[in-house]
Each structure stands twice: as structure tokens, then as C-alpha cells.
Structure 1
Amino acid sequence: MAIPQQVACSAKSHAGPCDESSHISIRVGISEEEKAAVKNRSELVLKALKNLGLNVKKVPVVSVLVSGGGLRAAIACQGVLSELSHVGLLDKVTYVAGVSGSTWCMSSLFSQSDRWKDLNKAENEFRQRLQNGPGDISTVVDGLCNAAARDDYSLTDLWLYSVVYCLTSEFLSTCLSHVREQSGMGTVPYPVFAAIDHHLKKNGREINAWFEFTPDWAGYSTLDQSTPGAYVSTTHCGSKFEEGKLIQEKPERDFSYLQALCGSALADKDVIKEKIKEFMEFIFHPETQEKMLFTDPEEVTLTNILEELFNLVYTFKTHGDCLLILENLKHIMTGEKDFSEALAWINEMIDSWGKSSQDDQEKLIKDFLRKSSMEVLEGLSNVPSFRRFLHKTIWRLLLWKWGTTNNFLYKYGHIKDKTLTEKENIHLIDAGLAINSAYPLVLPPVRNTDIILSFDFSAGDPFETIKATEKYCKAGNIPFPPVDDSKLDQDAKHPCDLYIFEGEKVPVVMHFPLFNKVNCGSEEVIKQRHKTYETFRFTKYSDEEVCQLLEDSKANVRNNKDAIYEKICKRAEAP
């Protein structure tokens, strides 16, 4: 299968500093900034290897991949990085690339430079935060109201405050570009965060859909030596561009938003919808309203209407009975002079609902939301931001909009592929929907990795990521070692703690299933671990459970450190 042509290689890798389009880069391979960072990191890796007494012929590029898996992945990622540091392997690593839940841990570590200096201390702080839980509701509501003021507000913002913050108990106000100094000096592994473009994936373009965030650039990754990638300066990812020119600068989104964007876990829509409903019920609860001092009678009426509008959309999205909700809305609006037009529309909806198709019903709801929006959003001036947040959330739920981001390639003339340039907005979502590990972003020729340490925290098949990557690489003619699917299928329920895949002129892949026969023992214990640490578990882990998960992930490093050293040494001493 031929790789679809992504962009035309007709633009310079970097525009001049005075060029208005200098924020955009069309190029093959990594940026000059990343090359400098990798060079500086390589010098530190070289020093570490020479301290082992090696006759180093080359400095191997070692990439650590940490997979998705919700809070389970975040905790396990912390354990892996802590143990890599403890056994002296982290200073041999060039890249750390994460997907989904693991980016929650990565973001926390990279948000404060001193956390890399003492990963054991960072781990203890992480444990403490998980036990303390999140702050008060006012912080959450204020954050949501501020987010809803943006024109790119989406369910990703709601996910940030309703799930990610509640699970990690941490707001990260710093941004990925702030890591440039320490990553540029090579004092920490170079971070790569993975997402995918929902539109490209939905239209069968999964191989093109990978979108990366680094401290320097963000964008669509290089696929091979002839197909360049398209990138925007990370500081301007989310700003408005047209024809390659910056027309409206927007603040860079912080690490907390990046956590939500990369870790929105959209594989199970029913679970996500239910979680959103639970959170919104909490927001609408009278006790919450009282805490927020929303007690004015007119304000209460408006909030009740918004609550029923939310229930209407949720009920429609989950194929429930909407007529009851419409009757409730009719009851609330009856006698309210400001809602006479909306009330008339409700009566029409009730009369025609049973005779309408699902598409027609959705159109009726959209029309009703438009007719009622000004009536709902106008009124008392002291709480418009809260009502704006509620109304925007209802719309985003109906349209199921996640990861809305201004398209930096909008009307960009150097791009042949018009699917990348025709839309003002793109929608970035959890890369775990494609491959639950960021293999495509570290494989040759993108980053010329020699050794991949793949720590897999996925639920279910512990080899799904390795098998999916092999298929991805075959489709794109990308070098990857051979994989025996039948052998892996036999081991799936009771895997070993390390599998090594290698071949000629391909990177060595060392794959570590999280729960295995070495750190868990029996197949029954492995099953129990998966049950305890479910991806969609939203209740708090006890400290005992956190410590057990940290230990399991650390054991996979500790028990195989010699094998990892052997592969690094072999690549370092190879001519």
C-alpha cells in the first residue's frame, strides 16, 4: 500500500526570522532545534556509556515509549521512569514518547524541571496528591468558565476538569514550550506527546493522522524520507493562521489541557457520556449552586432550563425517551414571558417528534438550541460566563466535538493535500484510538531510533500495540522487526515480562507487558490486576493500590536491566 502524499515539498524547512510564515515548517525529518537538543543529549549519553568502560563507536538513540491506559498508565509510567533512573538507565535515553494516560505523568514531570533531578521525590509527591484529591468546586467552575470564553472550547476542556484533574489532583499551568531550555541542553530526554487528527482517521487516513507535540514544534509527523511533515511552532499551536500567515495570536494551551487532549480516552463513548452526565449532575446540584452563590430566582430558572437542555441532548445521544424531557422544558418555560418563542417551538417538537427520523430529531434540537440560546444567555449580567459554559457544553455534547484547534494549515498554498487545508479547525483526540503507543513518532526515518523500550500499560491484549505497529509499518514501508502473531497470541493471557524483536537494519524493540508471569505469578493474579486497575475506573486508588502498581512497573525495569544494558552496549560498540 502506497503512502498517500501528505504535503508538497516545495517550501523551505525554515523561513527567515522576519518572514510572517516563519511559524510554519514543511520539512522531512526533525527540526534544527531538535537536532541540537539530541546532539547535546548524545554528549551526555556518550559520557555515561564511557563511564561503563565501553569502546563507544556510536551513541545509540534509545526511545522510551509509554502507552495509554488512564490513571493506571500514569502511575505505571512514573514507576518505569523512577526505576530507569534508579538503575542508571535513564541517562542513556534520548526520547520519551507518550500516549494517552502516560502523558499525564509526563506532563507533571516536564512541568517542573526539578522533578527530573529527583524522580523518587517526584514519585512521593505524586502519591501524596493522589491521596489528597482535587481542590474545591470553585476552582473547577472558574476554570471551565474561562475555557468556555475561548472560541475553540470543546468537550476536551470539560474532560480536563471533570476527569483528568479529579484523577491526578493537579493543575499544570506551565506550557510545553517552557521545556525548551532544559530539553535543548539535553539535561532531560526529549519529550514527544502524541495525538491524532480525528478527521483523517475517520476517513481512512490513519497513517497520516499522527500529530505530535514537542517543546519546539507541533504538527503532522514526517512519514518517510520523501514525504515531509507539516509543523507549527509549539508556542503558536492553536493560533489562527490563513495562507501561512499568523492572523490572530492565541496563548499556548498549558500542560493540563495537553493532558486532556492526549488522554481523552474516547474508545468507549458510552462510558465517557455517562461520566460527563455524572459531572454535569454535580454542577447542576442545588448544593453546588449554593456554594457558587447562584441563588437569584431568575438565575435558578435559567439554570433549570439549561439543565433540562443538557438532559435533552444527553438523552438523545444515548437513544433515550426525549419526550419526557421536552414536557419538563415546556412546564418550566410556561408562564416565562422571555421564552414564548422557545415554548412554541417545544410544542411543535412534541407534536412531530414521534414521526421524525433520528436525523430530523437532531435538526429539531439544533434549531431549538439556536432559538433558545439568546434567551438563555441574556439576563443577569453577573453570571454570564457560567451560563455560557453550560450552553457551550450542551452544544459540544450534541455535536460530539473534542480537541478543537485552529488549523495552522488553513488555505496554506504549499500543501497539495487539500484535506489538510480546507478546514478552519481540526479536532485532535487520543492517539490510543489508533495505536496505544507512539511507535510512529520514533521509528526510522522520523527519529532514527536504535532501541525502543516499549512499556505497555494497555488493558486486554498486551501485544495489541506491537501487532498494530507491525501492520502500520508494512502499510507504510517503514523498517520494523518481524513479529510472530501466533506466538504472541499464545502468551496473551500469561505473558513474560520482556519480549525482544530484532532484525537486519531495524531498531531493536524491547516490549514489556505491565502485568506478567514474573511480577504477578499466576494467570489469575494477572486477571485480578486488570480488574483492579481498569482503564475506566474513576474512583480513587488507595495508597496501597498505588504502591502495588508502582512496584509492578518498576519490577519490569529492575528484572530486565541487564538485558537492556546488553542491547545498548551492543549498539554502542557496533561499527
Structure 2
Amino acid sequence: MAIPQQVACSAKSHPGPSDESSDIRIHFGISDEEKAAVRNRGKQVLQALKKLGLNVMKIPVVSVLVSGGGLRAAIACQGVLSELSRVGILDMVTYVAGVSGSTWCMASLFTQLDGWTDLEKAEKELKRRLQEDSWDLSVALDGLCDAAERDDYSLTDFWSYSVVYYLTKELLDTCPSHMRHQSVMGSVPYPIFATIDKDLKSGEREKTLSEHGPGLQMLDDHLPASWFEFTPDWAGYSTLGFSTPGAYVSTTHCGSKFKGGKLIQEKPERDFSYLRALCGSALADMKTILKTIKDFFWKFIHDSSTQLKMLLTDPEGVTLKNTMDQLFNLVYVFLTNGDCLPIMKNLHRIMAATGSKHFSEATALINKITELRGQPSQDQQRQFIQELLEKSLNEDLLEQSSAPSFLKFLWKTINCLFSWTWGTTNNFLYEYGDTEYKLLTKKKNMYLMDAGMAINSAYPLILPPVRNTEIILSFDFSEGDPSETIKATEKYCKACDIPFPPVDGAKLDQEAKAPSDLYIFEGENAPVVMHFPLFNKVNCGSKEVIKQRHNTYATFRLTKYSDAEVCQLLEDSKANVRNNKDYIFMKIGDLAQAP
């Protein structure tokens, strides 16, 4: 299928290694830079196919999809890529697209000089890091204090330096645009990192989360504009077929401020540590997320790190720390439907004891709340707490503090928790006129998050006609039903009129607890989909072992994996490739030799 001609909305050139455009692009299909990278990659693929002795008639586009699943997915992704490389299949792959935890592995490989070319070495480094390195609270706190100076700080920053750093034992200061030098030569598969725009959800699209409180906000799987991708060259809302063009900005300038299509304030490009948190914020389990944030917040506020020692030398600093602690507890209790009144009374006592004029408005408001007769409604409580947060800390207090950056970090985290704000990113389409995405042009910020909230694999970003993929190798590391991504994608494609092979949902449901290690889906004018559940009856042997594996490698497990557990997970993921390599070679060969 031919790619339609690009419709560009600017006279400036696309960004290249030494030419970083600040323009917005509205176009169908893929960018010129990606086309060049794919052509160069095709030369590598052709050589790999010829080594098999095939009479190559064309170079099939093979895409590898790696799903979400926290650290389990990151380790399994490494195992899959290592084995694909060892058996010679990775050399035939054009795209690798990742969601959530798998992006932790993908990003790590791009920060290593030979990460993609020596995957065995990268695997050894992963095992060493998980066993020998540790999460350094003072390093994390330094990063959070720096991040809090940004006007787009959100819970994603907190997640980056807490959960993702804690699990991976790795901080990555390299930026996504730095991938260009590898991808443009075609020496590695072209990478795609998937996220979702939170506001583009089903139903109440223009309502903010603060209007109705946080909760499980599942995104509309059928809404094409909700998928937001990062590549080495461009970041933006992906093309949907030939009817809806994509909207993109240079990856270098994603996060900078635009208005009316013009760059008005350039911001530093976010690094891979932040992108990994953006892709892997795992927002499906509200209760678990809140508890995880609470535990890490407690570590930050009660640990005797350098910043805290500085803060505790000042009596007023002690009060401010205690105030922040109580405000966090107040927000947490409210979000978990607990009794806020005792915390408010304790907060009043702490503030009043200082005699500080800075707390006079806050203490007066607490008096007003506690003197109310009857129980305030949920909406009234939310309004009171929002007002209390605004009155409890001001610029004068920050300037007088001996650790203003630390207090700013605490303050911003509490506010973001209360409003449940994730993935705040300056909207490059703000007040931009030449686009079909009229909803997007109205907001100054977009709020990006884990794409697993829609489909736990990046099918919408590689399906034809976007990138003309002919074979999809889908490695599913999900914790629940391993066929859910397939069924959700089929539903998505039917709604969007995208070719996708038929799926026998009844059979998949019947085998959900003990799936096979490979399912092949084929259909007319549709890509061949080869789907590999991580834990299955071939590499595990029984339902009991499959269940045990899921329990051992739970998504929100925050305790260290032993070396044996890491090795077992790597072996399980490798077995799915090793045991089915002949089927993969056969399907690729059939397409390569087809006229």
C-alpha cells in the first residue's frame, strides 16, 4: 500500500541531526526522516533475508510489539530482544514499538553505546544492575528538587525518581532525540514509544479530573487521537489511515511552549528517565498507586538527607516539614474516603503553635471547616481542601526557608496528588488553526500517560496504513488475560476501519488461564499477527506454574527480584522466541518471496 504524499504546513525543513526545526507538521503517513531510516533499515533486512537463501521479491515490514507490565515487562523485553538477535530475526525487524514497562528496557538500550548491537552484553548489564546497584534516596531527592523548579512538574516527575528509578536502579539523562544517530543509519529497528493523551477519553472529554475526583478513567480504545508517540525525530498524535492526518512537533521541542503554531519559549528536552515514567505510569490501579506514592513521599520527607538536615536546623523549617506532612496526609485520607477532621485539627495545632502570620488565613479556614454543623459533602470537602492548600504555603515562606527547593517539591507533589495531575506537557497545538484536532487547540497543556490504559500494546501506532506493517510479532507481558490486547485491538480496528485479521475470541477466552505460546492470526489484506503470551503451557507446563509465575512477578511488586528470579523470567521470554523461530522465519520468508 502506498504512503500518501505528505501535507506539510510549514516551509521550514524537518529536523535532522544538525537541523532541529521548531515547526509543527500536520501530515499523513510517516515523516521524511523516518522514511529515510526505514529505507536504510531495509538494506540491513535485505542482507539478513539473503543469508537464508531466499529469492527475495520484496522486503516485508516486520514490527515487534512489546507490551506493558512494569519491571516484569522490562526484563522480559530484554529477553525477547536478546533471543531475537541471537537467532537472527531482529536483523529482519523494521520497527520496535513499546508500551509502559517495555519502554524501560528500550530506553536503557539506547543509552548504552552498543546496547542494540550487543544485546547479550546489555542483558548481563541488566542482571548486574538489578543485583548490585541500589536506589539512592539523596540522588532521587536532588532530581525531584530540580524537577520542581519546572512549571510543568507533575506526579510523573515523582514517579520517575521514585518507582521507576527504584525498580530499574537506573537514571537516564540521555534525551530521545539522541536516538537519531543510530536510527537514521538503519543499524537498529526504528523505535516508537507509546503514550496516551488523558483528556481524549470517552464521554466527558472536556471535563477535568478535578471536577469529579480521581478514579479509574479508562480511555476510549476507539479514539485515534488519544495515541501520542515519541520517535527519534518527531513526537505527536499519530496518523489514522488516510482520513485523519497526524499532528507532530520535533522530538527536541516536545515540551516547549507554542502558541498559534509558533515557538514562543524553548524548554530543555525531557530525558529518558522522564519518558520512561511518562510511558510507564501504570495508572490502572488507583488504590495501589496512592499507597505507593504515600510510601515514597514518607521516605522523602522523613529521611535525614542533606536537604532535610538543612531544613531541620531551622525551627521554622521543622514546622514547615510537619505542615507538609499533615497536608499530604489530609489529601491522601480525602482521596481514600477517610475522615479528614482529625488531620485538620492536628494541622491547626501545628500552624497555630508557630504564631506565624503566614498561617493566619489557613488556620481561620480550618476553624471555619471544623465549626460547620453536619458533614460537608464530598464536593464541599474538595473545595475546602483546595483553598487550604492555596493558603498554607506562599512565596514569602519559600523565600525565608533554608531549603526552598525541597519545600517546593513537597508542595507541588501534594497539589498534583490532590488534582491527580500526571504527564503535564506544554501543548504544541495550542491555538493552532490548521488542524482537524480542534479540541486539542483549546488547552495550554496536554496530560500524557501510560498507553496501557487503552491497549497494553502499541498496535494503533504500527498498523497499516500508518506504517504498512505486514508481520506483527506481539510479545505480551500483561498480568491479566494475555489475549486482552488482541481482542481490544480487533475492536479498535473495526471501529476505525483498519484491516486486522479475524480473532476467535471464544477460543482465547477458553484458554486464558493456560494459553499456548503462539497464536497466529491471518486475514485478507491484513497483517499477519503472531501473538506470544509470556507465561504459557509450553514454557511453564501447567496452570499452577503459570499462576505461580504471575504471583511471583506481580506488576506492583516493589521488593527486589533475586538473581534466580531474573534468570527465570529471561528464560521464559527467550523460550517463546526459541521454540517458535521456525514459524517466524517461515512467515517472513513467505512474504519476502511473494510477488
Q: Shorter-chain TM-score: what band?
A: over 0.9
Write the deviation string for residues 331-388 of structure 1: whole angstroms up to 9, x where unpaired: 1112322222221111112122843211111111111111122178435343110000
**Paired AA for residue 568 in structure 1:** I
Q: C-alpha distance in 2, partners of 1:486/1:18?
A: 47
Q: Which moved more, 1:508-517 or 1:366-375?
A: 366-375
| Residue in 2 that maps onto 1:220 | 237
- The answer to whether the 8 Å contact 2:319/2:354 transfers is no
Q: C-alpha distance in 2, partners of 1:376/1:349?
A: 25
- The answer to whether the 8 Å contact 1:21/1:245 transfers is no
Which among 405, 410, 418 is matched to residue 438 of structure 2?
418
Moved over 4 A (4+): 18-22, 288-292
Q: C-alpha distance in 2, partners of 1:403/1:319?
A: 25
Q: How far is 1:22 from its partner?
A: 5.0
Q: Residues 83, 349 of structure 1: CA spacing in aligned structure 2 closer, same or farther, 3 A cutoff?
A: same
**Paired AA for residue 285 in structure 1:** H
| Residue in 1 that maps onto 2:568 | 548
SS in 1 for 2:150: coil
| Residue in 2 that maps onto 1:71 | 71
| Residue in 1 that maps onto 2:90 | 90
Q: Residues 154, 186 of structure 1: CA spacing in aligned structure 2 closer, same or farther, 3 A cutoff?
A: same
Q: C-alpha distance in 2, partners of 1:305/1:291?
A: 14
- The answer to whether the 8 Å contact 2:490/2:500 transfers is yes
**Paired AA for residue 506 in structure 1:** A
Q: C-alpha distance in 2, partners of 1:206/1:292?
A: 49
Q: How far is 1:17 from its partner?
A: 3.8
Q: Does 1:134 align with 2:140?
A: no
Q: Residues 548, 354 of structure 1: CA spacing in aligned structure 2 closer, same or farther, 3 A cutoff?
A: farther
Q: How far is 1:51 from its partner?
A: 1.6
**Paired AA for residue 57 in structure 1:** M
Q: How far is 1:230 from its partner?
A: 0.3
Q: Does 1:471 align with 2:491?
A: yes
Q: How far is 1:81 from its partner?
A: 0.2
| Residue in 1 that maps onto 2:275 | 258
Q: Does 1:326 align with 2:310?
A: no
Q: For the aligned residues, what is the CA RMSD?
A: 1.8
- The answer to whether the 8 Å contact 1:501/1:509 transfers is yes
Which among 6, 9, 12 is matched to residue 8 of structure 2?
12
Q: Does 1:283 align with 2:305?
A: no
**Paired AA for residue 79 in structure 2:** G
Which among 553, 563, 566 is matched to residue 583 of structure 2?
563
Q: C-alpha distance in 2, partners of 1:276/1:89?
A: 40
Write the deviation string for residues 117-146 of structure 1: whole angstroms up to 9, x where unpaired: 211111111011111243422111110001
Tell me the percent identity. 67
Which among 392, 405, 408 is matched to residue 385 of structure 1?
405
Q: Residues 10, 456 of structure 1: CA spacing in aligned structure 2 closer, same or farther, 3 A cutoff?
A: closer
Which among 534, 555, 570 is matched to residue 554 of structure 2?
534
| Residue in 1 that maps onto 2:522 | 502
Q: C-alpha distance in 1, partners of 2:7/2:294?
A: 47
Q: C-alpha distance in 2, partners of 1:133/1:161?
A: 15
- The answer to whether the 8 Å contact 1:10/1:414 transfers is no
Q: Which moved more, 1:377-386 or 1:438-447?
A: 377-386
Q: Residues 353, 467 of structure 1: CA spacing in aligned structure 2 closer, same or farther, 3 A cutoff?
A: farther
Write the deviation string for residues 48-89 of structure 1: whole angstroms up to 9, x where unpaired: 111211110000110000000010000000000000011111
User: What is the aligned residue count?
Assistant: 567
SS in 1 for 2:263: strand
Q: Does 1:50 align with 2:78?
A: no
| Residue in 1 that maps onto 2:189 | 189
Q: How far is 1:240 from its partner?
A: 0.3
Q: How far is 1:484 from its partner?
A: 0.6
Q: C-alpha distance in 2, partners of 1:450/1:117?
A: 24
**Paired AA for residue 201 in structure 1:** K
SS in 2 for 1:409: coil
Q: C-alpha distance in 2, partners of 1:352/1:174?
A: 53
| Residue in 2 that maps onto 1:449 | 469
| Residue in 2 that maps onto 1:3 | none
Q: Provide structure 1 residue ranges, at least 5 long, that are not aligned to the other structure.
A: 1-8
Q: C-alpha distance in 2, partners of 1:217/1:226?
A: 20
Q: Does 1:428 align with 2:448?
A: yes
Q: How far is 1:11 from its partner?
A: 5.8
Which among 286, 299, 303 is matched to residue 269 of structure 1?
286
Length-normalised TM-score, structure 1: 0.96
Q: Which moved more, 1:136-145 or 1:232-241?
A: 136-145
Q: How far is 1:505 from its partner?
A: 1.2
Q: C-alpha distance in 2, partners of 1:36/1:330?
A: 63
